[in-house]
A and B are shown apart, each in its own frame.
Chain A
Amino acid sequence: MPIDIDIAYVARLARIDLNGEELARFGSQLGVILEHAARVQDLPTENVPPTAHPLSMVNSFRPDDVRPSLDRPVVLEQAPESEDGYFRVPPALET
């Protein structure tokens, strides 16, 4: 059985503005994919630790040294909108 999900909520969390038709389409596609993915629940995993990293490395650090930063003009040139050395965006609704 395809899984039923609150696709509108998920799209909001993911910050992708989808219209009604898209939400319906993606919602049903995801339901089918998730049904297949949910098969992982068939395997018993009590006392099996999750793998967060394929390596068994620990303590990968860098020393507290300052390195050169990027040139601001180079960076701001790629910005969709900038002003006086700042990146510029429309106002926020949420704080």
Chain B
Amino acid sequence: MSYEAVIGIETHVELKTRSKMFCGCSAEFGAEPNTHICPVCLGLPGSLPVPNEQAIDWIIAIGLALNSTIAHRSVFHRKNYFYADMPKNYQISQFDIPICSNGHLVVDVDGQEARIGVTRVHMEEDTGKSTHMGGDGRIQSADYTLLDFNRAGVPLVEIVSEPDLRSPAQARAYVQELREIVATLDVSDVKLEEGSMRFDANISLRPEGTDALGVKVEVKNMNSFRSLERALSFEIDRQRRVLNQGGQVEQETRHWDEAAGVTHSMRSKEESSDYRYFTEPDLVPIEISSEWRDRIHAGLPELPAQRRSRYVAMGVDSVTAATIVGGGLGEVLEAAVSAGGSARTVSNWLVGEVTAYLRREGGSIEETPLTGEALAELSTLVESGDVSSSAARPVLEGVLNGEGAPKEVAIARDLLAMKDTGALEAIVDEILADHPDEAARLKDGDMKVLGYLMGLVMRATGGRADPKLANEMLRARV
């Protein structure tokens, strides 16, 4: 029996407003515990919430960037449950009239595009942080808990996808694209390691070709894109095994254990939560006029999908375009192209040599001496044949290391292309003479040995020979 995975993802994004959602306490991450608190975010008797207008602007922006419908009228609800890190023991959230609904984004996995629905985007407040003490640090064996309410009340946007994802890779692509979109909007730090972006997944299996949804399992505690992919792969295997053995998948919440590479069943609750949602009486409704919505829309930056399309139109291939946009290399690419560089050539360098360099040395491209102008210069040098395409790599490395502009580096490192065809001929002849067996094979039409001989020519010329010319010469002069 062949099964299809049906996956939905619930993402939470903390907005990087200066102050909290319902009070004026600083929303900044990393302060001493319980120093950003006030009667409102601490839930002291008599306190009242007042919404942060900037947060509303920003959630509208997220909704528009996800192609959502923005509600004309939206309200807040109370979601009621008891938990020590929730100061009021209810969370101000949204229930049946979220600010944004019916959106989507497009993910690309290995060239396959899929449109993933975004059911809703709504506004809520974050909780405080619990630290479980004693035992082995896990919740189940703790002796006591310490609470820090600095995070309580920070604006939180919840983004819920339709169960349109069909593979772990697609799920990963979805959250990565979501992260990129939100980062482009500059409304959140979206740092998984700091918790400003978090996600949970719902996954079920169904026999391929059927429509009915299988039993849904919720998976939590995936703290990186990789663990999301691994956790979902594990779940697919686990659920498939259960079903193949004739069993039933239990509807439950499971915790991903990164170290062990498995999901664990969490202690099942006595009854599923009854949140008793009702309209928040301390807040009045939000009415979003078309003027307001249009103003936010007009202020949206170019989104990743649009940018990628623009680069493809410039001649960059789509996978490279995605890597460039995702890696924050777009600005320098565009600067290079405006300075006359070839989009295709420059983009390949950016995702190749430059990315490898940044990975090795750390930091961002802005911190290197490499500019768009320099890339354009190098591109022109290659195009005119002054630098061979294989010599471009060491030249680039030299520019990154601060050795100077491309032409300077090429000269200093003796990488200018060998333009003297006579000298090249001499070298080709020498190599053919020194390798009679290989020469004979080449003469017989063995193309494989051509590569070996090419390598020798390039080595002998210090990489400066024009590969195309050398290739032609070898074949002609053998």
Contact = CB atoms under 8 A, between A and B. Distances in A.
Interface of A: 9, 12-13, 15, 50, 52-53, 55, 57-70, 72, 75-76, 83-95
B33 interface: yes
A58 B143 contact: no
B147 interface: yes
Contacts of B26: 66, 69
A91 B147 CA distance: 11
Contacts of B279: 50, 52-53
A75 B32 CA distance: 14
A85 B287 CA distance: 41
Contact of B35 (A63, A69, A89): A69
B222 interface: no
Given A59-B284, A89-B84, A64 B17 contact: yes
Contacts, number: 130
Contact of B281 (A53, A92, A94): A53
Contacts of A88: 144-147
Contacts of B89: 15
Q: Which 10 A-B pairs have the closest CB atoms?
A: A67-B24, A86-B146, A64-B54, A61-B53, A52-B279, A91-B142, A87-B147, A58-B287, A62-B50, A57-B284
A83 B34 CA distance: 11
B145 A89 contact: yes
Interface string B145-167: 11111000000000000000000
Given A65-B18, A95-B266, A60 B149 contact: no
A10 B15 CA distance: 36
Interface of B is mostly: loop
Interface of A is mostly: loop
A85 B32 contact: yes
Interface of B: 17-19, 23-26, 32-39, 42, 50-56, 73, 75, 82-84, 89, 130-132, 134, 139, 142-149, 266-267, 269-271, 274, 276, 279, 281, 283-287
A89 B133 CA distance: 10
30 contacts: A13-B276, A53-B285, A59-B284, A60-B283, A61-B50, A61-B53, A62-B24, A62-B53, A63-B53, A63-B54, A64-B54, A65-B24, A66-B18, A67-B19, A69-B37, A70-B39, A72-B35, A83-B146, A84-B146, A89-B144, A89-B147, A90-B145, A91-B132, A91-B134, A91-B139, A91-B144, A92-B130, A92-B142, A94-B267, A95-B267
Given A62-B51, A64-B55, A67-B23, 4 more contacts: A9-B271, A52-B285, A63-B53, A93-B267
B38 A69 contact: yes
A15 B144 contact: no
Nearest to B36: A69
Contact of B286 (A9, A58, A70, A91): A58
A64 B51 contact: no
A12 B38 CA distance: 29
B145 A70 contact: no
A85 B24 contact: no
